[in-house]
Amino acid sequence: MTNAVKQGAYYTGQYRNLFAEYGYSEADIAAKLQHTWDALFGDDETTKIYYELDEDKGYLLDTGNHDVRSEGMSYGMMMAVQYDRQDIFDKLWNWTYSFMYMTEGIHKGYFAWSCQPDGTRNAQGPAPDGEEFFAMALFFASKRWGDREAPYNYSEQAKDLLRTCLHQQPPGFPMWNPENKLIKFVPEVEFSDPSYHLPNFYELFALWAHEEDRTFWKEAAQASRDYINISCHPVTGLAPEYAHYDGTPNHIRGFGYFFSDAYRVAANIGLDYAWFGVDARQQDIANRILAFFADKEPDDYRRYTIEGKPFEEKSLHPVGLLATNAQAALAASDEQLAKAAVELLWNTPPRTGDRRYYDNCLYIFAILALSGNYRIYA
């Protein structure tokens, strides 16, 4: 099921720069990286998603839903640590810790998934994709910049968060199923979201979490790689937004199709292969996804069944979709498909308008990954 040769950057120390491999100059790549950061974190109101509440707090705004999400805050912290911007990281973490962290009730120790920009909570429940990104970004911050006083004791915050995720006690619920080692869509349910599965993160949690939890995380990495394989369609490579533990689509609330959440599966496959390179099945999945979209124009991306049947409904986030497809090129073995996907991203600017938040989050991660700058800090 896996390659005998471990070829990812974790083992080799070398991060692939697909932009350079496909002929773009180092100067142009550096400019693309800076322009992308400036678009999201600068002053251009047509592309920016980062705002500040006061001198020590900042947030990423979901510009389509006009709220602040744990997804976006954790993404922003990962962006900041990858770009070596501790100032922005600390403002995001301070906002998160001040307003989202829940100190009582069944979700004690988790982060509320949605707040208003002033910090007022819209929800009292968490979304596990936020928690896993918070933990990984905090570990990287600790490795890159060192720990300080609470709440900037990054590594301890990460370890304690992961302990809560695994050991939340009744009447609360853990975020991972303890038997099958799979992440849940939300703690109270027993099904998953394929795009939540980040085996490359779990490999590192297995090194840095509290010692008693490290075996679990190592097993979770393999469980998630297996789950990704069974939830991606054998012809198209598409995964549903929600899936049962056996990988089949879960159509509750109409989320059993390939749509916005599911775009991230391609990106996750690409980054896991770039960092660890231990699962040859990911190459095949990436090839299938890129082949499915090879004859489709971004303006005509749609909601699809995982078998590839299109709906009338168009994609809400076409830039995000082409960005995640491009990131899958890190795993693809078909060079022609990979190069076409990367070139499409290169020639596409960050998104403007009300829906730009999700697209531009996925866009900046793809730019980092494809330039060899989405890195492990250890």
Tens of pLDDT, residue by residue over 10-50, are: 999 999 999 999 999 999 999 999 999 999 999 999 999 99
Strand intervals (E) in 61-157: 68-69, 114-115
The answer to whether residue 160 is domain-embedded is yes
Chain-centre distance for alpha carbon 309: 26
Residues 2 and 69 in one domain: no
DSSP 181-215: -PBPSSTTSS-B-GGG--HHHHHHHHHHS-GGGHH
The answer to whether residue 183 is domain-embedded is no
**What's the confidence (pLDDT) of residue 6?**
83
Residue 335: active-site member? no
Q: What is the CATH number of the domain that holds 69?
A: 1.50.10.10
Which residue, of 141, 175, 209, is where some domain finishes? 175
Residues 163 and 59 in one domain: yes
Residues 111 and 245 in one domain: no
Residues 84 and 141 in one domain: yes
Cα–Cα dist 263/261, whole Å: 6
**What's the confidence (pLDDT) of residue 5?**
62
The answer to whether residue 214 is domain-embedded is no
DSSP 130-164: HHHHHHHHHHHHHHHH---STT--HHHHHHHHHHH
Residues 268 and 356 in one domain: yes
Residues 151 and 72 in one domain: yes
Options 71, 131, 272, 284, the catalytic residue? 71
Residues 31 and 98 in one domain: no
Domain count, the chain: 2
Of 365, 1, 368, the residue nearest 195 (C-alpha): 365
Cα–Cα dist 11/265, whole Å: 23
The answer to whether residue 192 is domain-embedded is no
Residues 256 and 358 in one domain: yes
Supply the range of the domain harboring residue 324. 1-48+228-378
Cα–Cα dist 210/208, whole Å: 7
Options 62, 193, 261, 334, the catalytic residue? 261
Chain-centre distance for alpha carbon 108: 24
The answer to whether residue 208 is domain-embedded is no
Of 101, 18, 90, 102, the residue nearest 59 (C-alpha): 90
Residues 55 and 41 in one domain: no
Chain-centre distance for alpha carbon 38: 20
Residue 71: active-site member? yes
Give the tokens for residue 73.
Answer: 């805050």
pLDDT tens readout for residues 156-210: 999 999 999 999 989 999 999 999 999 999 999 999 999 999 999 999 999 999 9
The answer to whether residue 198 is domain-embedded is no
